[in-house]
Amino acid sequence: MNEHDERHPHHIDLVAVAKQVATQEGFVVDFAPEARDAAGVHAPTRDPADVRDDRQLLWSSIDNRESTDLDQVEVSERLPDGSIRVRIGIADVDVFVPKGSPIDRHAGVNTTSLYAGVATFPMLPDDLSSGATSLLPDVDRLAVVTDFTVAPDGAIVASDVYRARLRNHAKLVYEDVGAWLDRRGEPPPEVAKNAALGDQLLMQEEVARRLRKRRIEHGALQLETAEARAVAKNGEVVSLTLVDHNRGRDIIEDLMIAANGVTARFLEERKFASLRRVVRVPKRWDRIVEVAAGRGTKLPAEPNAVALSEFLREQHDSDPKHFTDLSLSIVKLLGPGEYAVADPSSPEGHFGLAVDDYAHSTAPNRRFGDLVTQRLLKAAASKQPTPYTVPELREVSAHCTDMENHARKFERTMRKVAAATFLSRRIGEKFDAIVTGVSPKGTFVRLVSPPAEGRVVRGEQGLDVGDTLRVELVATEPTRGFIDFVRA
């Protein structure tokens, strides 16, 4: 056995691999000098007249512990009629990244930040995304605020979008907030020092539950997918872990979905063409029907979101232990989302799209489509002409969809590279797995633990997405991210 035997691999420079894979997928991983010099672009020294002063409000953020590119903050207020007013402050990235500037052109090429676990390639330079535009605690920042009121039944009864200067009073962490809300942990230090902040979190969770309940009643899908990530130490992968879903993440997810709907309708009401996020009718509905039948539920022969939503709710309540695996199967069968242009001047408007109003707007530091939407919102709010023509938006839409597909391939490849590196010393072991993909390229599975994905190279006949099975690990090739299994 030599040092290159894949069961005992030599050291692999995972950062170099990540750069190579990103480049192969069409991303520019290094900023050109003119784009890197973000310090040359400054926000105005005096706020325009349409910028409100909201610094007195008790804004806070909930994010990953290690995150420094903070896009959003939240604050809420209970009204006399039982409604809750929510304000979502989104970092004003546009003021530092003007349309057509060198850094905007770079962002327009990549369209998204890339996260590989062992390396991150941000859409904007760190001194912007983690500095001047980031809604870091205890500093004043410009923001675009999405303001909406949620009735007790979950209906949004009033909404607005405006510019403001604000201050983040507490950077909270998903896991800490989730543990506290579940009564599994002490209150986060910021909450322990400020009871009003705890009241804010409880109110935000209440409004999130209202919104979620109403969405599900109208056919929204209740899915819980577990995101796998590599844990690296000194450049070596030491474990693979799943990012746990918790009540802290639920709050942000539900509030951001609501904010994205509000911004889409805000632009539509002002006759602005805009970018929308859509999921087309699933091409593999027949397989979704089979999966449901295997669990004792008969779904309609034609795609029906309300029926699927009800099936998922029942499964979540009756078998929560295996719901993540079911969710993964349904997500794979639904297919990825894409960007589309809603043009109120066309005969179809947005009504030709397959879902309700939804415009990505809450992460302009990390997604180019959100930055474009932010520019549209600022123009609409100040009654200025649109900064984008419909042809320009269509070009942005197509490119964002294309690069998002490449980003998924990059992140999937890097998960496989990390997983193959980690599993190389476990050849011959057996694992429980779920089928995640079947195509002419092969049959693919994800292990239950550790959460690694690979290809079944023998015994795959008759398998389909959603099937569970036992597999044996027979080979790995870390530099290419290959993991091979046989049916055990």
- The per-residue pLDDT for 235 is 65
Percent composition of the chain: helix, strand, coil (DSSP 3-state, to 5): 35, 25, 40
232-241, 456-465, 466-475: least confidently modelled range? 232-241
| 443 has a pLDDT exceeding 90 | yes
| 153 has a pLDDT exceeding 90 | yes
Contacts of 462 (CB under 8 A, 6+ apart): none
- The per-residue pLDDT for 117 is 77
CB atoms inside a 10 Å sphere around CB 387: 16
| 75 has a pLDDT exceeding 60 | yes
pTM, rounded to two decimals: 0.85
- The per-residue pLDDT for 349 is 35
Q: Say how far apart CA 151 and CA 387 lie, in whole Å.
A: 34
pLDDT digits (tens, 9 = 90+) for 298-327: 999 988 878 888 898 899 888 887 787 788
CB 444 within 8 A of CB 412: no
Q: Is the backbone of residue 87 left (phi > 0), alpha (psi -120 to 50) or beta?
A: beta
Mean pLDDT, the chain, integer: 88
Q: Say how far apart CA 158 and CA 150 lie, in whole Å.
A: 8
What mean pLDDT comes out for the span 137-145?
96
Q: What one-character-per-residue DSSP string does 2-35 give?
A: -TT-TTSPPP--HHHHHHHHHHHTT---S--HHH
pLDDT digits (tens, 9 = 90+) for 179-214: 999 988 899 999 999 999 999 999 999 999 999 998
- The per-residue pLDDT for 226 is 63
- The per-residue pLDDT for 7 is 43
CB atoms inside a 10 Å sphere around CB 465: 22
pLDDT, greater one: 124 or 228: 124
Give the angle 72-78-82 at the CA atoms, nearest 5°: 130
Mutual angle of helices 174-181 and 195-217, in 10-degree steps: 90
Confidence of residue 165 (pLDDT cuts 50, 70, 90): very high
What mean pLDDT comes out for the span 120-149?
94
pLDDT digits (tens, 9 = 90+) for 341-395: 988 766 443 322 334 567 889 999 999 999 999 999 999 999 999 999 999 999 9
